[in-house]
Chains A and B, each alone.
Chain A
């Protein structure tokens, strides 16, 4: 099993460009999440999807959109990238809710916005 797979692993954007981070899980999990990790700030939840067909905002949703394409896939889109969005992005999945069971993380996508 691959677990949680994210693409791309690295990306450099110019301010104002758009891009989509892709995430897929093969564990048949119901819930999926997007986090960002910044130095000295831990991981912060951007958006989550408790089940196929639903999405909700997390702590830091501004500047992002998400799509739960099907049970396996959950994408994160930056419509107009800003330098403040330079970060490492992690996708995660869980069988139950985020506060009741293990989160399985992907290996991360490092995004730099110039």
Chain B
């Protein structure tokens, strides 16, 4: 099955700085790559996704890039705010499943 690796596992940034989280995947057939944000005590919530026919997608302060040749995709958060502190998960699609990375705990220091 698909193997998704996510780095780093923890990330601390100063408020206003940018944060980047990177993921790699193994199955070249994967064509859908969502990112989920999980706040403490809550379920994950979709924040942005990208499909394989697109190289980049942006939504306000959040952007995702995809390199299908290298099989990696990244989440970029600009102008970070304290409310961005959470655990972020990348995922890659399989036939009937989403394969999740192991998560990145982002802490934004005021």
CB <8 Å contact, A107 and B97: no
Contacts of A4 in B (CB 8 A): 43
Contact between B89 and A43, CB atoms less than 8 A apart: yes
- Of the stretches B60-68, B78-86, B98-106, the one at the interface is B98-106
Given A42-B102, A102-B34, answer yes or no on A58-B97 (Cβ-Cβ < 8 Å): yes
Number of interface residues of A (CB under 8 A): 24
Instruction: Assess the B32–A50 pair: CB atoms within 8 A.
Output: no
Q: Is the CB of A103 within 8 A of B96?
A: no
How far is A98 from B44 in the complex, measured between Cα atoms in Å?
14
A82-111 near B? 1/0 per residue, CB < 8 Å: 000000001010000111101101111000
A94 vs chain B, min Cβ distance (A)? 10
Residues of B close to A58: CB separation below 8 A: 96-97
- Complex CA–CA separation, A89 to B42 (angstroms): 11
Residues of B within 8 A of A42 (CB): 4, 6, 89, 100-103
**Which 9 interchain pairs have the tightest Cβ spacing?**
A105-B43, A99-B93, A42-B100, A43-B100, A102-B46, A42-B102, A45-B97, A99-B32, A105-B44
Given A42-B100, A99-B95, 19 further pairs, Cβ under 8 A: A4-B43, A41-B102, A42-B101, A43-B89, A43-B100, A44-B100, A45-B97, A58-B96, A58-B97, A59-B1, A90-B43, A90-B44, A97-B96, A99-B96, A102-B46, A106-B43, A107-B43, A108-B41, A108-B42
Q: List 5 A-B contacts (CB under 8 A).
A: A43-B100, A58-B97, A98-B93, A98-B96, A103-B44
